[in-house]
Amino acid sequence: MQQLRDKEAQKYFDSLPSRNQDIVLILENIQYAKNVANIFRSAESAGVKRIYLTGISQKPPFGKGLRKVSRGSEKRVDYGYAKDTLEILPKLKEENYHIMAIEVTDEHIFHSDLKRYLGE
């Protein structure tokens, strides 16, 4: 398998069918800056529209080491910051986003079962 780069990657993403809803992430109190940088990189690959950082989550601009991890995706993914997640949720609800919280617990719901829980 060959890794897609630059124009090849952009061509691939442009060829994908468009979503009928955008994806917005809220990163709440992500303790390690390296994790935030990794999420930015993954979010860019997944076509995430915007990332909101809250609480203690590290905000760009990233230092040299973290820019290497993020591969500069913080320059291409729109982001904002709020002290508390509750500042963001009403706005997203008003914009008709479905709100889902993701956390690792012993009472989790598999992502494959989400449609049943969302009534879709």
Instruction: Give residue-wise pLDDT tens across range 22-61.
Output: 889 999 998 888 888 888 888 888 888 899 999 998 888 7
Domain ranges of the chain: 19-99
**In terms of pLDDT, which residue wins out, 104 or 53?**
53
Q: Which CATH superfamily groups domain 19-99?
A: SPOUT methyltransferase, trefoil knot domain (3.40.1280.10)
Q: What pLDDT shows up at residue 1? A: 72
pLDDT digits (tens, 9 = 90+) for 59-101: 887 767 777 778 878 888 889 999 999 999 999 999 988 787 7
Is the link from the previous residue into 61 a cis peptide, with omega within 30 of 0? yes
- Label the pairing between strands 24-28 and 50-54: parallel
Per the structure block, which two tokens stand in for 53?
A: 């950082």
Closest residue by Cα to residue 24 from 74, 73, 79:
79
pTM: 0.73
Instruction: Say whether 44 sits in a helix, a strand or coil.
Output: helix
Residue 118: band (very low, low, confident or very high) from pLDDT cuts 50, 70, 90: low
Find residue 50's DSSP bridge partners: 24, 78
Is residue 119 predicted with pLDDT exceeding 70? no
Residue 33 has a pLDDT of 85
